[in-house]
Structure 1
Amino acid sequence: MTGLWQVIAEFEEEWADGKVQGWDNEGQENGHVSAQPSGIDLDYYSTVEELMEVGPERLKEALAALGLKTGGTFQQRAERLFLTKHTPLEQLDRKHFAKGSRGAEQNGFAATPQQAESSKAIAFTEAKIIKLCDLLHETIVRTKENVEKKQALTYEEMEAEREEEDIQADSESDDEEQQIYNPLKLPMGWDGKPIPYWLYKLHGLGQEFKCEICGNHSYWGRRAYERHFKEWRHQHGMRCLGIPNTKNFNEITSIEEAKVLWEGIQEKQGVNKWRPELEEEYEDKEGNIYNKKTYTDLQRQGLI
């Protein structure tokens, strides 16, 4: 990190003085850029047809960088850019420049702040890469030597080396498994290690909740227990009982209690048969709740 901060300081100083290697930004700071800031060297092209090989998008970018119009056909763009090969921008007819272009007003040499910032960002990236290559020089050299060494190995030598690496990896994994100490039988976290005890207590993971509707499945912790009422296992159990999985049945885990409550709801509403397409609830991956009809329609349309 110290080396990187040093690079930033040195770069800012050299950029201000126009001394960054490979970047002559003195002209940019004075408000001028070269006639070809687009990255297309017209010296390599002798005809418009050859220039068209770079593609329409690059031509458009090159024209925009020079403040020239970017419209017209593919060939018209190439012809417009090819004019700048033998004709300085300040001598071009103003009709070739885009409206409001500072390039036309300032003889085609004005640099926009965006261009200056873009050039500075690229130069700074190069400076960081050079510094990182310097800091990692030894590692890079060793890596190259290792690659060259492997390229010179025979098939038998490569197989022997691979077997040695596999044995070493197996021994390391065995050591890691032996080091895991979990006397409290805590659940494993994402890293393969027991979660902290305070987190175990915070979520009440030592508390067991059984649900008869889910086939006496156990849920550990209040959070998992509350969430399971909208999950597939509980929904399937309610469907098998012929009971809609609505909010009225939250916290109901007994089959008998669910049946009694459903009979009471039917008597109160005067309905002998429930309508699953309107009353049965479904949950998507984002936790949104729909009735069966809406869920089926959205699923058929590929929206969920």
Structure 2
Amino acid sequence: MNSKVKDRIINNQISKEAVEWLLRQIIVLPKSWLIINLIFIILSTIEISWGKDFSYKFAIKNTTAIFLTLMWLPAVLKIFALSGGVLKTPAGEFDSSGMINMLQSLSADSLGFLIEQTKLAEEVAPPEQQQEMRQIRQEWQRYYSSKIPVSDAKQLLEGLAQRYKDIRKSMPSGAQRTFEMESIAGRMRALAEIVNFPVSEVDKFLQSEDQGHRLLGLSIAEWSGKAIYFDLVLDLISNSKSAFEQTVGLRAMESMLYRLELQQKSKLKSVLIEQRDFNEKEKRWIKKDSNRWLISERLLSAMKI
């Protein structure tokens, strides 16, 4: 902010320049976030039919509306943070209780997707905004998990793991499949902390041939941040069956980074350098301008070896 604008704000004079500056800070959206959402918006409008003849058409669906709304999520979160957690609207104040009312209107699938998308926004946002998004994401996770009895959480996680496996196997690539997978990942993220899985069971998940169980194992490893899972998570980063799986693996690795020993950091660095040589056919998924690249950048920078 230039000194002229700053002086006017200090003197309680809200100038045109001050308003314009504030709007620029709020409305500028992360480039990666915009690109991802625009791709999903376009893909969500395409309906492909496979029969005797290949055909396609464009249609606006619920998924399209969700992506259009989420495009502005970083700006909404900035406004919410700048207003001290309270937004005044013509309909009244939108505070933390208003946020709860909004969440209550969402289905479990939509809330899971919102949690995962906020995690993505957190990863691509400038450092000074990441903490704000992290706090809101965690609040949404707590809200979702509070609605699930602890006695039912483990069974629900198993069901989500099976659903993820079925989606990967039967649903064609596209916006709807992405929505489903990210919804599952978000719900797993929220429930991981309320189920006390023993280390031996998490190890089995991480070594499983079942894609859903691997995703569950990675979600638990990310939540726990325990370095005891280092070797298995590193193996999944190096040998991920999909870019989506590697993303969750990188997040799990980032959560345990400060607990790693020098030798472990050296192994991680070698794997990251190899995977950053992007080649989809050889299942090296870390591509420039992806969220995986951003996470790998942070990991390499933090290790300093």
Query: What is the TM-score normalised by the length of structure 1?
Result: 0.18
Q: Which has the larger radius of gyration?
A: 1
Structure (1 or 2) with the greater helix fraction: 2
Greater RCO, 1 or 2 (C-alpha within 8 Å, sep 6+): 2
